[in-house]
Structure 1
Amino acid sequence: MSESNAIANGLAGAGGGIIAQIITYPLQTVNTRQQTERTLKRTRQSFPSNSATAPGILFQMFQVVRYEGWGGLYSGLKPSLLGTAASQGIYYYFYQVFKNKAVAIAAARKLKGRGDGTVGMFGWLVVAAIAGSLNVLLTNPIWVLVTRMQTHTQAERKIVEKKKEALRKAASERTIADPTLQDKLNELNSIKPRPYGTIHAANEVYNEAGTVGFWKGVIPALIMVCNPSIQFMIYESSLKHLRAKRAAKKHEDTSISALEVFLVGAIAKLGATVATYPLLVVKSRLQAKQEIGGSSSFRYSGTFDALLKMIRYEGLPGFYKGMSTKIVQSVFAASVLFMIKEELVKAIMVLANKTKSIKFE
């Protein structure tokens, strides 16, 4: 029964994750571009509000559509859906497996006169951390490709702008007009974003760093395992509190409604996102194309190098770029995911029970 429960949670997690991903993907694309945008810190700069560091979410989405079409908002969607299905499936499967073990251990401890038979907050943290670590190690290559595809147009535009700037500078330094420089400038102005698919992104990553390149950003990603750990600690503890409250009031039905799951999921994800956002920015920077800043100060050889350069050249605000977008996207996505997942688990278990009863008849 516990095995089928784990499989049901894995399938439901994958299904819920895909739906949530499709709905919120444009926000995710804009957020990744915000995270990988480099801005030198100003002298005597105080910590600004997120709205002051970047244009509004809707404005940025409009800009992407204006210059790249609607497809620009969905760059990398195919590998992202694969990654979401794999990530959510793997995570929820292993989460349920280790959750079942944690519940069994708690029950065994109660029989020995230790504990009340329930899993504590630390137990939920450990369960979520193990499941999250396995998920990161297995799916990191997919997310490297997704990040590359989401930021490719942005990177190409910066490279072109750098070339234009060099040509303008060369033209201003010439005493006699050079028509070839203007021709080159016109050629650059006519450049349109090139098609950039999954295979292209994979070849680019491999040519830059070999097989190791597909695990760029894995260290901050592993540290970020604490994000779902915090999320699920809040989530499970909140659900436990709701059920206990209803049981204390002697309600016959202690089940949790879809709306309650949505709200609890939103609160859980909000707390986890605010706590771990700087790590997400570092991960995105490492996975994006390194030419994206046009300066060696914005190219990173590893996690520690990225941290030092971000602190030196951008200051604390650099670690919180696009946080408002991420909060909107991740909280909404998590809420939808939790709500759909719980309903899918119920449906899968009902279907499984019906199948079993038909076999025994």
Structure 2
Amino acid sequence: MSDALINGLAGAGGGIIAQLITYPLQTVNTRQQTERDLKKEKRKLGTIEQMCQVVKQEGWERLYGGLTPSLVGTAASQGVYYYFYQIFRTKAEIKALERQKRGIGDGSVGMFSSLLVAALSGCVNVLLTNPIWVVVTRMQTHTKISKKDRPDRLTTTAPEETVLSVIEPPPYGTSHAVQEVYDEAGFWGFWKGVAPTLIMVSNPSIQFMLYETMLKKLKKRRSLSKQGNTGITALEIFLLGALAKLGATVVTYPLLVVKARLQAKQVTTGDKRHHYKGTLDAILKMIRYEGFNGFYKGMSTKIVQSVLAAAVLFMVKEELVKGARILLLKDGINSMKSKPP
């Protein structure tokens, strides 16, 4: 098994575990990002308040709306990303060693090369998996409708006696979301938001650049202080992953909001301020009607969710890679022992 495949499978496994742990936060954050109420006086609900509101009005299952395609998307995204990352990283390391032989550099991959490797891996990942995330966003932002919002189905009781119970619509599943996207924009509708998403490649690029830089420095310091021992613990990987993701999220969050707005169900009737024709149109309308604060809706939730998810992913992925290499090494030794002399 190649090192790239090991990293790809380990990344997929780590991503699934991280997604399962942090998914309710992701659902709430997506709703915060796509919330388009322009009334300044309305009090914004906090993360916990909004989670409780979703549970009360729509049930626990809505916090996990779109979980199945999201897990598929996460496994695909992380698997593709780490697979190509390892391939590009290996090539960058070979070139760095070749330059060292010519007396250029110290043989290690520099910061710019690390950024380029992460960016190329991210572009491949985005182009292959964007349709999955369009469907996931639709399922996360789909809400049940109350009788208050459906005058055609109200009883004849007085307004104050109107029951605000939730109408149970037909189940909104993956197939419904796929059909909805296709009906709205056809085949290319599944690549909505791909422009800001491609720009968002800078997020994992910055993240991996920070992670690799901090990891290299920690290993170097560890080798100097412990006579060549460069072993890094799972907790240290967890903390490095969290710090790297924090830095990347703060820098690139506005693009996440624009992407979520484009991928959510578009309002084609009524207030045109809520309908976006494309990336530039979304940015201009958000600046005009919501101000720059609109680009940071739900940022605190995203920081908690993404930092925790990244930390868990890095920790689990590194442990899986380490375990896989040990198993392969043992299998290789055992097979050599079993061969007749």
Q: TM-score, normalised by structure 2?
A: 0.92
The residue correspondences of 1:114-125 to structure 2 (distance < 5 A) are 114-125=104-115
Alignment match, 1:256: 232
CA contact (8 A) 1:41 1:315 kept: no
CA contact (8 A) 1:83 1:142 kept: yes
Change (3 A) 1:59 1:69: same
Q: Does 1:342 align with 2:303?
A: no
Unaligned runs of 5+ in 1: 44-51, 169-178
The residue correspondences of 1:223-238 to structure 2 (distance < 5 A) are 223-238=199-214
| Structure 1 stretch displaced more, 212-221 or 188-197 | 188-197
Partner SS for 2:76: helix
RMSD after superposition? 2.6
CA distance in 2, matches of 1:293, 1:150: 22
Match of 1:99 among 78, 83, 89: 89
CA contact (8 A) 1:167 1:181 kept: no
Q: Which has the higher helix share?
A: 1
CA contact (8 A) 2:245 2:310 kept: yes
Q: What is the CA distance between 1:107 and its match in structure 2?
A: 0.6
Q: Deviations over 1:105-131 (max 9, x none)?
A: 101100000011111110100000000
Q: Does 1:40 align with 2:38?
A: yes
Change (3 A) 1:42 1:205: same
CA distance in 1, matches of 2:227, 2:86: 27
Q: Does 1:305 align with 2:281?
A: yes
CA distance in 2, matches of 1:36, 1:161: 22
Runs of 4+ in 1 over 3 A off after TM superposition: 160-164, 179-183, 185-190
CA distance in 1, matches of 2:10, 2:153: 55
Alignment match, 2:126: 136
Q: What is the CA distance between 1:5 and its match in structure 2?
A: 1.2
CA contact (8 A) 1:64 1:72 kept: yes
Matched letter for residue 221 of structure 2: K
CA distance in 1, matches of 2:92, 2:135: 35
CA distance in 2, matches of 1:122, 1:17: 26
- Percent identity, aligned pairs only, is 63
> Which of the pair has the greater relative contact order for Cα pairs under 8 Å at 6+ separation?
1
Q: What is the CA distance between 1:181 and its match in structure 2?
A: 11
CA distance in 1, matches of 2:39, 2:284: 14
Matched letter for residue 63 of structure 1: Q
Q: What is the CA distance between 1:351 and its match in structure 2?
A: 1.4
Q: What is the CA distance between 1:39 and its match in structure 2?
A: 3.0
Matched letter for residue 111 of structure 1: K
Alignment match, 1:241: 217
Partner SS for 1:325: helix
The residue correspondences of 1:138-153 to structure 2 (distance < 5 A) are 138-153=128-143
CA contact (8 A) 2:57 2:166 kept: no
Q: Does 1:287 align with 2:263?
A: yes
Q: Deviations over 1:90-116 (max 9, x none)?
A: 000000110111111101100000011
Q: What is the CA distance between 1:357 and its match in structure 2?
A: 2.5
| Structure 1 stretch displaced more, 347-356 or 332-341 | 347-356
CA distance in 1, matches of 2:51, 2:268: 20
Alignment match, 2:27: 29
Change (3 A) 1:350 1:188: same
Change (3 A) 1:41 1:248: farther
Unaligned runs of 5+ in 2: none
CA contact (8 A) 2:130 2:191 kept: yes
Alignment match, 1:4: 2
Q: TM-score, normalised by structure 1?
A: 0.87
Q: Deviations over 1:165-221 (max 9, x none)?
A: x999xxxxxxxxxx98989x9699663344100000000100110000000000000
The residue correspondences of 1:149-228 to structure 2 (distance < 5 A) are 149-153=139-143, 164=151, 191-228=167-204
Partner SS for 1:122: helix
CA distance in 2, matches of 1:193, 1:101: 53
CA distance in 2, matches of 1:70, 1:167: 25
CA distance in 2, matches of 1:292, 1:96: 43
- The number of equivalent residue pairs is 336
CA distance in 1, matches of 2:51, 2:199: 30
Change (3 A) 1:294 1:325: farther
Matched letter for residue 112 of structure 1: R
Alignment match, 1:59: 49
Alignment match, 1:328: 304
CA distance in 2, matches of 1:267, 1:53: 31
